[in-house]
A and B are shown apart, each in its own frame.
Chain A
Amino acid sequence: MFKLLKRSALVGACLAGALGMAAGPAAASFPERTVTYVNPFSPGGECDIVQRMQQEPLRSELGVDVVIEYREGGGGAVGWTHVSRQRADGYTFACFSIPHIIAQPMTRNPGYQTDDLKVIYTYHSTPQVLVVRNDSPFQTLEDFINAAKENPGSITVGGTGTASGNHLGAVRLMRAADIRLTWIPFPGSGPTIPALQGGHVGALMTNSTMYVQNKDRFRALAVSTEERVDFLPDVPTFKELGYDVVEAIYRGALGPAGMPDEAVNRIAEALDKVNRAQAERKQEMGFQMHYYGPEESAALVERLKVEYRELLDELGMLR
């Protein structure tokens, strides 16, 4: 069944290519009909918020209707598998997040391979922030690391899922500081906030957006970027404190591999315009803006593939 689908997709792609060549200039007029923007996560999630923000401006940018289609499940895997099997004509693309699209095929069989997907554009990332409660005894990252060294494994750190951005951020910290923490994987980011507030975990490795929303209650010990983040000027980076921890969840748009360049570039251009126009608002919400086109996005994926393979290997999670 799968093979058949793949083959028919291939035939379809070839046909589309042939038609495109035959039609010549007509192909430049992509898109000609409604495009489908797949959301592989649940309504109310980060992809949903961004896609709903983009839907209207993207419609005027592309000149056609943009339909948002939910295909949630398996941490995004159901949606990306679906997209990877669609005709590579640019009319179906999806919101993506890294590390998911890189880590999932490394740890299990999610139904797609990273190379089955073509990254089109990367709009933003959410750097990882180590946060504790305001009344926590850990004033600085140093306090935190010393406590972890004294009693290895006694500090619990919460975040979303396993082999997720949150988790890999915590793993990188453990590696860089040579400490042992107990990772508590929550089903979704929502429940992590009351868990820290209620003292059910000692700290959170969380997205910058989550910290920005809860600034008045939580203290950030460090952020996992190369340089300080514009919207968090007072939060030191792990790097400046002497720990090489750089981790972020990147989000953008992808389509099936083998999309024609015109379509890729057209979507990337449209997303770029929309993204730049929304930059200020998104930064206020805690997003680190990026404007990576197809080449830069592909380079990002290739770089992270190597890093994640190493990290997951160390965790014994490679399949």
Chain B
Amino acid sequence: MFESVISGLMAVLGWEALLLVLIGTVVGLFVGSVPGLTATMALALLVPFTFTMDPLSAMVLLGAVYVASMYGGAFTAILINTPGTPGAIATSLDGYPMAQQGKAELAILTATVASVVGGVISVIFVLLLAAPLTEIAIRFGPAEYFWVAVLGLSLIGALSTGSLVKGLMGGAIGMLIGTVGVSPLGGESRFLFGTSELQGGVNLIVALIGIFAVPELIRLSATAMRTVSIDYSKGGEKLSHVFWITCGRPFNVIRSSVIGLIVGIIPGAGNNVAGLVAYNEAKRADRDPASFGKGNAQGVVASESSNNAAVAGSVVPLLTLGVPGSPPAAVMLGALMLHGIRPGTALFVETGTLAYGFIFSLGLAALALLIVGVIGGRIICRAVCTVPLGFLVPTIAFMTILGAYSMRNSLVDVFIMVGLGIFAYVVRYFGIHAAPIALGLILGPIAEDGFGMAMLQGTARFGPDQAALALFVNPLSWMLIALTVLTLVWPAIQNRRGRKRMTSGSVE
């Protein structure tokens, strides 16, 4: 094994591989920062170009694009409150308030450093623990998927800065939107309204563009300001300061990276949820949880380190089981197959150079983000902050329409995007925010599938009357249930503690 690790490292340290990493990160950064261009799509378009390459070079290029696009999503999340990728939803929660306080560049550089650290930490874990980590993916059955989704939905409590009830309403709306289409379990048609286009359901990216970007564009068009209301005068942040923010609290960044890694390994849940889970944990552990959602840099650190760590996580089941942990990983699996490589544990033995080389290259791509991100980040940040709104708003509007259309080459998707956007703009006035809606949309289908399959399993095992037992028989399910309960009651505990501290303080 040791020999393979070394030869893998040597293989990616050649100038050719390094060049591919650099090209990949630039492409990925662009793709990630445009709402509607997804890593999945970019990888699918790149696959034919990799036919002529050797397998390792192909995977290095694809991996770099994947890593960088995860990070690129942070730009739009911070600057225009629109996560460029679903993984960056949590980044917008504190990144955008930071930008509004004039700390846009600080937020972006923090996201950069956090991404690099998250990427490197997760690669180290994968290198050392690929085989045991695979166990995590295998232990997840239908019941666990259900409970993971429930745990995710319980995060709504943490995400909603205002009323919990309104947060839950948002989640319910999202779950309802998620039911549109042909149901995956029984094949029933739901809420099609007589059209055939809605069979595929509401595309997640299309919905995200709608509920995040459109309200922001409406708001920007309605302001009297000439540029984005970001005070740029405080620019020129020192990198050392940013490093201090990220690494000065090592617990947050390490915890978030590990969470991202583990969530990324679970096939299906993937990077979309990783950032949100890490964000919730960071908020819970923080001394001042109330500062989250109002521009706390630690929120950005948690989200970004976690969603980049999830990249390496989703590669684990891909390499060891041949099971993609996320849609972009599915495209990479296709590329591996086209090169005649059969993923599986044998991959590490038979073609160790490829397997380890690929994992190393993900780490290199994370490091390359530091260069590409610091330069590109400053340029993009300055551009967005100084371009007059009269140019900026139409440009972004154009890109959102293009992005929604390109998902499935369907005009219906554009209408859905605009419709959901107007809806989101209206309900925001009633205190229902975009993040809980997005969470419901992502997790509703996972919960439904998991529940349905677990009930079928239960029927086979315990008979139709006690089918629900299947949801409660595995220790892993218990753990997830316990975490959910903890997430739900923690704010109450924290409240009481805070009150006690206050009263005892006043006595002294």
Contact = CB atoms under 8 A, between A and B. Distances in A.
B330 A52 contact: no
Nearest to A187: B184
Contacts of B324: 44, 190
A156 B199 contact: no
Contact of B322 (A44, A69, A214): A214
B47 interface: yes
Interface string B438-474: 0000000100010001001101110000000000000
Contacts, number: 171
A213 B342 contact: yes
A194 B323 contact: yes
A239 to B, nearest CB: 27
A317 B457 CA distance: 21
B409 A186 contact: no
A155 interface: yes
B315 to A, nearest CB: 14
Contact of A71 (B268, B337, B409): B409
A49 B141 contact: no
B343 interface: yes
A162 B321 contact: no
A201 to B, nearest CB: 8
Contacts of A161: 184, 187
Interface residues of B, number: 62
Contact of A194 (B189, B321, B330, B453): B321
B173 to A, nearest CB: 21
Interface string A171-194: 000000000001111110011011
Interface stretch (A17-25, A105-113, A225-233): A105-113
Q: Is the interface of B mostly helix, strand, loop or mixed?
A: helix
B200 A200 contact: no
B187 A163 contact: yes
A214 to B, nearest CB: 7
B164 interface: no
A208 to B, nearest CB: 13
Contacts of B186: 162, 185
Interface stretch (A73-81, A124-132, A257-265, A267-275): A73-81
Contacts of B140: 194, 198
A108 B460 contact: no
Interface residues of A, number: 57
B475 interface: no
Given A107-B187, A185-B185, A187-B449, A43 B338 contact: no
B408 A109 contact: no
B334 A49 contact: yes
Interface string B304-332: 00000000000001000111100101111
B138 interface: yes
Given A111-B199, A162-B187, A214-B322, 20 more contacts: A43-B43, A44-B330, A44-B331, A45-B334, A49-B337, A53-B338, A70-B44, A73-B203, A74-B200, A77-B199, A109-B196, A155-B460, A156-B457, A187-B184, A187-B445, A194-B323, A197-B138, A200-B457, A213-B343, A213-B344
28 contacts: A44-B330, A44-B334, A48-B44, A48-B334, A49-B334, A49-B338, A53-B338, A70-B407, A70-B409, A73-B197, A74-B182, A74-B200, A77-B182, A78-B200, A107-B187, A108-B182, A111-B197, A163-B187, A183-B456, A187-B449, A194-B267, A194-B317, A195-B141, A197-B321, A200-B457, A216-B344, A216-B346, A281-B340
